[in-house]
Amino acid sequence: MSTPTPEPDRPAPGRPSGPARKRWTAALNGFMPVISAALALGLIVGLLMVSAAPGGHEHGALASSEEGAAAPAGGGASLPGKGKKVTLDFEEGDMYIKPNKVTVPAGADVTVNVVNKGSQAHTLSLLGKTNKQLEPGKSETQHWGVLTESTQAWCVIPGHKDAGMLVEITVTGGESTKAAGTTAAAAAGAGTAGDTANAKIDPAAKPAAGWKPFDPTAPVNDGKDVHEATFTVTEKEIEVAPGVKQTRWTYNGTAPGPTLRGKVGDTFRIKLVNKGSMGHSIDFHASKVAPNVQMRTIKPGETLVYEFTAQFSGIFTYHCGSDPMIYHMGNGMHGALIVDPPDLPKVDKELVLIQSELYLGPQGKPGDLKKMQAGEYDAVVFNGYHNQYVHAPIKVKPGDRVRVWVDDGGPNENIAFHVVGTIFDTVWKEGAYTLRRDNKEKGGAQVLDLQPTQGGFVEFTLPDAGTYPFLGHRMKNMAAGGLGVFQVG
């Protein structure tokens, strides 16, 4: 701290000049250390009073308190919270924690009360150290102990932190606050969009010997009025491109899940069994039911029976609806259910193609939520695997009439489905024919355009021997893996 020097010809009011001024300045400089110490002590006391007062956190902690507030001796100036006990209250909901920023003095002994007001289980873990899941409506107390550096706490259930369940904890007065905050932020930021640790697809790579493609054959309508199935949820490592594996969240072990089929008026009774490590659910777009009842999230080990009557025809998406929904869908939890239109004619070959995107996380891990939220996909694929029907073309006999059911599973990209070398003479989109075979206008269609979770079908013939590519005619999606081949003859 320095003392301003007045101009020589205009002494500061109230100050002596000449020799007397020199003596006054020397005396003032002698008192400066005492004044500086007093100011520092005043700042520290003020900080402690703000931190200890209920609701006094500048970032909105819900409550705090102190006990035994004797001023720390010795090194107390560097740890202003030494000897203090601070209590923080947090509320968790589905994809939020509030407050999401708190401030405590360095050296304070911190206890946390947390209540879960969401609809599914959550955790609040300091620096991601795993603790038990807190069920909806429940509360708990955690002892975090003495904090000397800025840090973070978050929900460790996959995807929840990146969806917003993160608390920034600023520790004031510690010598290493800045460095600690930087370290914590770096640790919490692992797996963000563009992370170099994420797996990469080599477009030139080929599947290993023994690889088998996802069977695109459409299921046969068995003619029953009641269709019963069990969907078991598991989280398993699956290859999504040559040499690239991800932990996919699956119905019955596949991503996409199994395709179901029936007709208008049929009953579908699905038993959902959760054998995963977190809450999951299912939402059939073909149903009209109360979402909070049949589409509710169930915990690991639980089961749910989802029953509905199909009232409308078409190809409908089903998917997991648990938060964050985009993360569950983006990790493979979607599929299709076909409800045949009345008098649907027979064809020679019937297929199901489900388009979706891959947002790669590290090898063997789940996908990257931040990339999903940003729409920064690594691949656009049919039936879950990069260019799989280029590696294993779909065989068709010359002249066969082909029907392809197309479902856009998303979660983000649309599709303009096109087959190179032919024209669609029949098109069904979202509940109605937009083009019928042998129409009087002699009209034909070149694409079936669908937004995420829309569906339809096209019919066509491939009369000559050869290879006929099929793709989504959004070129960057085709170049990113959304390509296949019909092999004729």
- Known binding-site residues for Cu cation equal 280, 285, 319-320, 328, 333, 473
> What CA–CA distance (Å, rounded) separates 15 from 356?
80
Amino acid letter, 16: P
Q: Which of 87, 137, 89 is nearest to 114 (CA)?
A: 89
Annotated binding site: 280, 285, 319-320, 328, 333, 473
Closest CA to 139 of 156, 167, 118, 153: 118
Query: Residue 280: what residue type?
Result: H
Q: Alpha-carbon distance 330 to 360, whole Å?
A: 10
Q: What is the DSSP string of 299-340?
A: -TT-EEEEEEE--S-EEEEEE--SSSHHHHHHTT-EEEEEEE
Query: 310 near 268, Cβ under 8 Å?
Result: yes
Q: How far apart are CA 483 and CA 489, in angstroms?
A: 20
Question: Could you tell me if residue 45 is left (phi over 0), alpha (psi between -120 and 50 degrees) or otherwise beta?
Answer: alpha
For 104, the token pair is 């405590």
Q: For residue 247, which amino acid is it?
A: T
Distances (CA, A) of 401 to 266, 283, 437, 471: 27, 33, 12, 19
The 3 state secondary structure assigned to 417-458 is: EEECCCCECEEEECCEEEECCCCCCCCCECCEEECCCCEEEE
Cα–Cα dist 477/466, whole Å: 24
12-41 burial by CB neighbour count: b if 16+ within 10 A, else e?
eeeeeeeeeeeeeeeeeeeeeeeeeeeeee
Helices (H), 143-280: 177-188
Contacts of 292 (CB under 8 A, 6+ apart): none
* Complete DSSP assignment for 65-99: ---S-PPPPSGGGT-TTTT-EEEEEEEEETTEEES
Q: Kindly provide the residue ranges of all beta strands, DSSP E only, lying in 164-302, ordered along the sequence.
A: 166-172, 226-241, 244-251, 260-263, 267-274, 283-284
